[in-house]
Structure 1
Amino acid sequence: MNAMVLEATSLDKSYGRIGVLRDVSLTIGAGESHVVIGPNGAGKTTLFKVLTGELYADRGAVHFQGRDVTRVPAHKRVHLGFGRTFQVAKVFSKLSVQDNLLIALEARVRRQNPLARVPRAVAAGFAVAIDQLLADTGFAAQRDAISGTLAYGDRKRLELAMVLALEPAVLFLDEPTAGMSAAERHATVELLKAVKRKRSLSMLMTEHDMDVVFGLADRISVLHYGQLIASGTPAEIRANDKVKEVYLGDEEDAHA
């Protein structure tokens, strides 16, 4: 059994009288790719926000590497080792690819003291780090490209590279292939596999595309109306009658 990087226990979250999460528990093991799926309105986005600190749970707890982070805000969770991408890529559109990465590297150095100057010796090593990030994410030939001119899938890839520059222990990916073409989705799956393997990352993601889900997941959890109805290996989820009934039925028929 892998050591647990993140453990969420009995999470509840409501908006007014509307219960969005109800007694949700899940874990992310070291080096594991864990994908959360479910119909629209199932609570996936709210769960993501609670786990990353954008929202606090009404009840329950979140532990990261054994530390209680239930009431730790999002920016401080980043300092502890959380990395996150968003459905709409967040990059500096007027800057080049390499300058976006430089900003991310500087932010990593300043995590403990945002006002501190980056030591000259550290800054000198940024060129090597940037070269490695460009190579790892397939940007070596586009280092001088202005980010705002990149194709949609490439902007998502640049956002991932910026998050990797922070050297996270766990990577949260919110719909990483949303809006992409089939070719872009395939390239993203292969990139995430390579990044996870090389950097020994743990990953939690939400995703609708079942080819992406089953191409990446070591484990899958299924939400339905705010409740966790199943969690298991891809094979176990495919065979689960309840999951087929509430979510996978159409997907399975489409792949039959």
Structure 2
Amino acid sequence: MQRLLQILYKYRTFILLILLEGICFWIIVNSNNYHGAKYFTSSNRLVATIASASNQVSDYFRLAEQNKYLALENAKLRQRILSLSDSASTASLLLDSARLGIKAKVIDNSLFFRNNYLTLNRGHADGVHSGMGVVGPDGIVGQVLHTSTNYSTVISLLHSKTMISAHHNPTRTLCSVVWKGEDPLYAELLFLPRHIPITPGDSISTSGFNSIYPENQLIGIVSEVHLEDEATFYQAKIKLATGFYNLTHVYLLDLSGKEEIDSLNQEINKLYE
């Protein structure tokens, strides 16, 4: 014990330096969006390769669980196909608006920062590009931020800068969904007017009023509703449809007409700058 204390005392300056550098690094990553993105992207090939190898080992021991999960997902997809079979035009519209051509695996996923990111094992060599929407088997996940040859980084729905254009499904009323940096299971529902009837259990989906997600992609289910006497909008919380704790596979959306829509939006923004 005395020997250990002597070593600690001898190298106290170096240990203090390492400790302070660690604290500074954590503060920079957690408070600066650019540096946070650079860190969590795992864009450097070494980190991404290590994460991928680690995932392959863990996946081997979870094959039974994954098979059960995929079977449940297939059952859900079959049910959706049956529900759409009565409306060929609806099915055609869904296929035209989004192409689910790229399946990816999550190899890194942060949950407990204010700004969280995911790393996927698909990059621009697979057709992935910045701005693509990402969905999971149960709901939306995020948006592609950066790509390398074989990997891509996604801004998670669990990010302070993410705001999703949504609608209240029972009434089709527009609203927004944001994550306030607290529980990874829940998000806040904003801008739903007080005259709209809303109750726990109502579903919230994407509005389609952007070039990221098609309409009617599930975001979550209303879990709490509050209304102050003089408030214009509800204070509501939704339970996210996507389970970020055990998210393993996702799909990348390539919306038709996205480039044209983005170009028009940029021109409009220039006019009002």
Shorter-chain TM-score: which interval? under 0.3
Structure having the larger proportion of residues in helix? 1
* Larger Rg belongs to: 2
Per the normalisation by structure 2, the TM-score is 0.22
